[in-house]
Chain A
Amino acid sequence: MIGIGLVILSFLAYQSVRAKRKGKKQFEVFYASNLNSEISSITVSVGGVYFRLSNDSTQYVFFPRTSDVNGNTIFEHIAERGDLLVKKSYADTLKLVKEDKVYLYTFQKIE
């Protein structure tokens, strides 16, 4: 029984490490990216906000922060296909342009 428990714990630990590595890699891609295009797809899960842009087939993942900067508006609640996303390489902030209104989102750094 204890052996099974240890196996399960080891498995979960491995999955956690694997997820972290994946998250770090995803963040590095997102952080380095220079974005300036419309959203073509967007989904959300515990792994973050996943989106693609109309001029790019890459799937980007990030963890937007809901804060006073964006009027405490949750990113995935308003972001839709067709909205413009703007972020420069290694910038700390992403701009969501929606119907001429700009929302700013900082994001969690995965290090």
Chain B
Amino acid sequence: MNVTWSSGSAGVATVNSSGLVTAVAPGSAIITATTVDGGFTSQSAITVEGELVTSVKPLYNGIISSMRWRTDKAFETTGEDFTGMYVFDYDEKYQIRDATWAIPDYALNTFQIAGNKFRTVAMDYDPNGNILALKRYDKDGNMIHNFKYHYQYQEVSPEYNNKLKSVDGYVNAYSYNALGQMIGEDKSGIGQYVEYDVTGKVTAVFGDANHTDRKVKYLYDDRGFRLAKVSYWEANRTTWYIRDASGNVISTYEQSGVPSEANAAPIVQTEVPLYGSGKLGTYYPAQDASVNYEITDHLGNVRALLREDVMEFAATMEDNNQEDYNNPRVQEMAYFQNLFETEMDDPNMNHTSNMATVVTNPSKAAYLFWVDGMAGMEATDKSIGPAIAREVNPGDIIYAEAFVRYENKINYQNDITPLLLGSLLGNSFVSVEGFEAYSLAETAQSFNSALTASAFFNDNGDESRPFAYINYIIFDETMTHVDSKRVRVSEDAGFDPPEASLPNQHKRVYFENEIVIPPTGKYIYLWVSNESENTKVWFDDFTVTHLSTFVAQATDFGVWGDVLREQKADASSRYRFGYQGQFSEKDEETGWNHFELREYDPIIGRWNGKDAYKQYWSPYIGMGNNPVSGIDRDGGFRTRFGAWLYKIGNGGGDLEQAIGGANAGEWYVGNQIGYNGLGVAYQRKFDWGNGNKSFGDHVWNHPFTRYQIPDFVTIGAGYNGIAMAGAGTSFEMNWVLRGQEASWKPAITVTQSLGVGYSVDATINVGGANYLGNANDIRRSMLVTSIGEGGVTYWRSAGVALGGKIGVTGAYTPTTTGYGIIGRYLNVGGGLPLGELPFNAAGGVSNTFIIKDFHKK
């Protein structure tokens, strides 16, 4: 029988034509066999279990080997919380090579490798650090990017080094200007084309090579900070940035259209960033003063937004009979119950001011008057006034108030039983939030149970004022009573009939303490009521303020800053800060992250412009190819700012860039005080410049110390037989005291010399030599001079010789680094005088060879 095989989830398991199933990643998959004849099918469910891992091998060098996180899902979204883990692998230079997703078990502290899910892998680099390849997978383990990076130097000439030519599967062709700034990326006709100003800032981005389809334009202030972004994307819109003296944005304004004298559109303050030691979040003055607080990771990536939302709902009862949203009634109907049912047009009982609504002459209030057995406008259900339901989270805060007047009577009674009140509330709140799946009877029963369980009716003894209240009940998610309370109207809210027209007579009824939602609270129901029969009570401007804090946005980033997944409580919301959002703004118009100096493309992990600080051999590589640990605050040298901060916070010091040693190019502060990161993920090594790692190095390598204690110390013995001309040989033990190859283990050398003059002697030679260049460039091979390689030492000696001899020898060895080696030695031994004169002297050249180096492993 011919059968075809298929897998329902190739990211979990594959099946070949023989039916052999191969696991790919943890998860479940359906394997289906289908007959060729007849199309009959049979299925089998398989589960692939991942490898259980208990630990990640630590690196002990400050480089992050793995990270895991858990972010609550965004409010009112479906799906699960954002939990995840990455395990990282690096190459020899600690450039990221593989970021593998894992599924953590927080209880057991273990994890399972998740196959290719969200994996970024196969990253390779050329020796300059330019990335050569990248593969990226989505949540199902399907490959979404298989990039091969092509560079100009691979085909053209070395002067085009490091510039991209194309990226397979992303950009067909890149183009650069003479300054090395990327000016065009051709994506099959829908590319982006860039213009720069003289300082290297992007001024405009176009959608076509002819620069006619403008996508966005940027304006900068005199300090080079972004002043405005004029977006032509979706709709013309201008964003203005107001900054403090340090360049931090302190306010953002938005305006429809583009900047021009003719543009009369209002400029609205939309965002006010909040700062502590860093950026905390954003305050939205135009959104009921709500705030988004950023939850950031070690890189400053905004992983979640906690929104402190302020929502105010007011039942003004006003209605201008229009259907647009500016009509208060239209807005209030979206939240409140019982508006139509209780409204009454009576200017004397109205509390709403002219300023509170767009209604010219507000005149309405909720009139709660009822008589048992009556129907229509005086029915019992008129005992319940405007009512509102809210879904809440534990810790949310609710404020509620209303303004009330009532017509005085001699005494009052509470004429509503709990059973009746429960029934009336059931009618008011049926099918609203929390009761969507409940019938009317079930809704009423929930309120009945709540009213019975609580001490809700606790003031029956006071008959001096109406039994009229502002009320609330909190339910848990099973609609079981959690908390409830009511506040009764005050005596001074009453008026005698002749006083009905007196102004400003409303009294406020409110909950003195804020209502804090308990841990199990899920829904709150608030309403105003008049439970005294045949009593005239007017409520107006029943206002509920809901302060809630919830996860407004959750975002997971890939290693290069690409967005893996994102949830938003409000799908239409846009938060301008994401990857390294502490320092950069995400420009949706371009897809790039805007840093102070240049633009970063997280899809390919490279900068579009050159590094102003020349940190790496390639000026385009992103975050030193270690984006897990590294940040770039301004798009320039990632530690210079940190060094500057350190300087400011630690009493000053000179900023200095190391020009030698393994850390050449790095910035340092000339004060050796402990350093704790300052937000940089891996620990910095502050030194004293020129590659000196410590204060001890600094002293040891100081020119004064080098003069006193030479770089090379030598003890040896040898003889010369130079009379007019001749030769000599000596053997030395040499200690190299500076540089990366310094060691207490000596190297034994032999020196052969040729000379002219007169020097017939045998001496012990003690002395040393100094390299005139950087101490960190000293190598043990500097002991060797070979005429075969063009190297030679020039020497000259002189001494007092009367059978015994004491003298000195000076030597100089030019090197191809441009810095010579100068030596001086004391010679003590026996020597013949030059005729009658009690001295001898000679000069010549020599070569030295290492016979044995004890430092060699």
Could you tell me which A residues sit within 8 Å of B by CB distance? Answer: 8, 11-12, 15-16, 18-20, 22-24, 26, 32, 43-50, 61, 63, 65-69, 72-74, 76-77, 87-94, 102, 104, 106, 108, 110
Contacts and interface: CB of A to CB of B under 8 A. Distances in A.
A7 to B, nearest CB: 12
B785 to A, nearest CB: 5
Contacts of A76: 781
Q: Which 8 A-B pairs have the closest CB atoms?
A: A23-B816, A91-B127, A67-B662, A20-B818, A19-B814, A45-B784, A66-B740, A92-B617
A46 B821 contact: yes
A75 B513 CA distance: 76
A65 B660 CA distance: 10
A67 B779 CA distance: 12
A17 to B, nearest CB: 8
Given A46-B785, A74-B855, 15 more contacts: A15-B794, A15-B814, A19-B814, A45-B781, A46-B782, A46-B821, A47-B791, A50-B789, A63-B777, A63-B779, A68-B662, A88-B127, A88-B128, A90-B153, A91-B617
Nearest to B662: A67
29 contacts: A12-B812, A15-B794, A16-B818, A18-B814, A19-B790, A19-B815, A19-B818, A20-B814, A23-B818, A43-B786, A44-B781, A46-B781, A47-B790, A47-B791, A48-B816, A49-B781, A61-B816, A66-B740, A67-B740, A74-B741, A74-B856, A76-B781, A88-B126, A90-B153, A90-B161, A91-B128, A94-B127, A104-B93, A108-B777
Contacts of A106: 662
Interface residue SS majority, chain B: loop
Nearest to A74: B741
Interface string B112-132: 000000000000001110000
B795 to A, nearest CB: 11
B128 A110 contact: no
Interface string B839-857: 0000000000000010111
Contacts of A89: 153, 158
Contact of A20 (B93, B158, B816): B816
A68 B740 CA distance: 9
A77 B743 CA distance: 14
B730 to A, nearest CB: 17
Contacts of B741: 66, 74
A69 B93 CA distance: 7
A110 B774 CA distance: 13
A90 B788 CA distance: 28
Given A23-B817, A90-B128, A46 B857 contact: no
Given A44-B784, A69-B93, A93-B127, A77 B815 contact: no
B150 interface: no
Interface residues of B, number: 41
A68 to B, nearest CB: 6
Contact of B857 (A18, A50, A69, A73): A73
A20 to B, nearest CB: 4
Contacts of B857: 73, 77
Contacts of B782: 46
A91 B815 contact: no
A93 B816 CA distance: 20
A4 to B, nearest CB: 10
B92 interface: yes
A73 B857 CA distance: 9
Interface string B736-752: 00001100000000000
A69 B92 CA distance: 7
A56 B126 CA distance: 22
B820 interface: yes
A63 B662 contact: no
Interface of B: 92-93, 126-128, 153, 158, 161, 617, 661-662, 740-741, 777, 779-786, 788-791, 794, 796, 812-818, 820-821, 853, 855-857
A26 B818 CA distance: 13
B780 A74 contact: yes
Contacts of A19: 790, 814-816, 818, 820
B856 to A, nearest CB: 5
B785 A90 contact: no
B739 to A, nearest CB: 8
B468 to A, nearest CB: 79
A23 B662 contact: no
A77 B781 CA distance: 10
Given A50-B789, A92-B128, A108 B817 contact: yes
A12 B779 CA distance: 22
Contacts of B856: 74, 77
Contacts of A73: 857
A65 B815 contact: no
A66 to B, nearest CB: 4
Contact of B820 (A8, A16, A67, A94): A16
A43 B815 contact: no
A26 B783 CA distance: 20
B127 A92 contact: yes
A32 B782 CA distance: 25
A74 B856 CA distance: 8
Contacts of A104: 92-93
Nearest to A103: B92
Nearest to B813: A46
B127 A110 contact: no
A94 B126 CA distance: 11
B80 to A, nearest CB: 42
Contacts of A45: 781, 784-786, 789, 791
A72 B740 contact: yes
Contacts of B791: 45-47
A23 B818 CA distance: 8
Nearest to A77: B856
A12 B789 CA distance: 18
Nearest to A64: B779
B662 A69 contact: yes
Nearest to B781: A44
Nearest to B157: A89
A81 B210 CA distance: 57
Nearest to B786: A45
A96 to B, nearest CB: 11
Contact of A32 (B158, B779, B813): B158
A48 B741 CA distance: 14
B812 A66 contact: no
Q: Which of A24, A65, A76 is packed against the most chain B CB atoms within 10 Å?
A: A65
B376 to A, nearest CB: 90
B826 to A, nearest CB: 21
Contacts of A72: 740
A20 B815 CA distance: 7
Contacts of A49: 781
Contacts of B821: 46
Contacts of B816: 19-20, 22-24, 26, 47-48, 61, 110
A110 B818 contact: yes
Given A63-B779, A66-B740, A92-B128, A47 B815 contact: yes
B617 A102 contact: no
A46 B784 contact: yes
Contacts of A108: 777, 817
Contacts of A46: 781-785, 791, 813, 815, 821
B789 A47 contact: yes
A92 B664 CA distance: 12
B740 A12 contact: no
A8 B757 CA distance: 15
A63 B817 contact: yes
A62 to B, nearest CB: 10
B660 to A, nearest CB: 8
A90 B127 CA distance: 8
Contacts of B789: 43, 45, 47, 50
